[in-house]
Structure 1
Amino acid sequence: MKDTNTIVITALASIISLGALGTQSSALAGEKKNVEKCYGIAKTGQNDCKTLSNACAGHSLQDGQKDAFIALPKGTCERIVGASLEAAAAAPK
């Protein structure tokens, strides 16, 4: 059962991450009001900005790292299992 949940969560996070690529470019263009930071769902190396444990986008150390975020349309993050609108402490290396 746990493996099935992990697969479903990972698939959902991947789909949302792909959809957020367009949102990220518009957020960089200055339309940040409709975007929120969604923590804990980014795939390894796919975070949008720095984390508590590194200083660059694309350098998250593991899937679902609690201090790594991706930019999503407002209201989306709260609908994703395991996602958070606030960063948590990074897992020790």
Structure 2
Amino acid sequence: MSMFTKASTAFALAGAVASAAALLSAPAKADDSKEKCYGVALKGQNDCAAGAHSCAGTSTIDYDGQSFKLVPKGSCVTMKTPKGMGSLTPVKS
């Protein structure tokens, strides 16, 4: 392998690593605009839970206080449901 080929390979690898790092950091920035909102998800539409069940899409009841939905930051506590308002922390049902 020539020195030119080794250098080209090294630059290509460095570029691929930089591209992968940029892709991995992008979702973290998007997540900064969201917050966990407990008690607002319909059954099967939750993003995760505080312990009542495994995780995404597994809630079996509407507006479960232990399940959260990711919502735009700052909007959770203003969301009204038949059971009350959204909460930034898990709510005992």
Instruction: Please give the TM-score of this superposition, normalised by the length of structure 1.
Output: 0.60
Equivalenced residue count is: 63
- Is 1:83 the counterpart of 2:86? The answer is yes
Aligned to 1:63: 62
Q: Name the SS of the counterpart of 1:84 in structure 2.
A: coil
- Is 1:33 the counterpart of 2:32? The answer is yes
**Which protein shows a greater Rg?**
2
RMSD: 1.7
Could you report, residue by residue, the CA deviation over 1:30-89 in whole angstroms, capped at 9, with x for unpaired residues?
A: 122211001101000100023411112100110000011110111111211221111023
Could you report, residue by residue, the CA deviation over 1:1-21 in whole angstroms, capped at 9, with x for unpaired residues?
A: xxxxxxxxxxxxxxxxxxxxx
Q: Name the SS of the counterpart of 1:29 in structure 2.
A: helix
Unaligned runs of 5+ in 1: 1-27
Q: Which runs of 4+ in 1 moved over 6 A?
A: none
Unaligned runs of 5+ in 2: 1-25
Cα distance in 1 for partners of 2:28, 2:50 equals 21
Residues 47-62 of structure 1: matches in 2 within 5 Å?
Answer: 47-62=46-61
Q: Name the SS of the counterpart of 2:77 in structure 1.
A: helix
What is the identity, as a one-letter code, of the residue corresponding to 1:72? V
Worse-superposed segment, 68-77 or 49-58 = 49-58
Higher relative strand content: 2
Q: What's the offset of the Cα at 1:29?
A: 1.7
> 1:37·1:71 contact (CA, 8 Å) conserved in 2?
yes
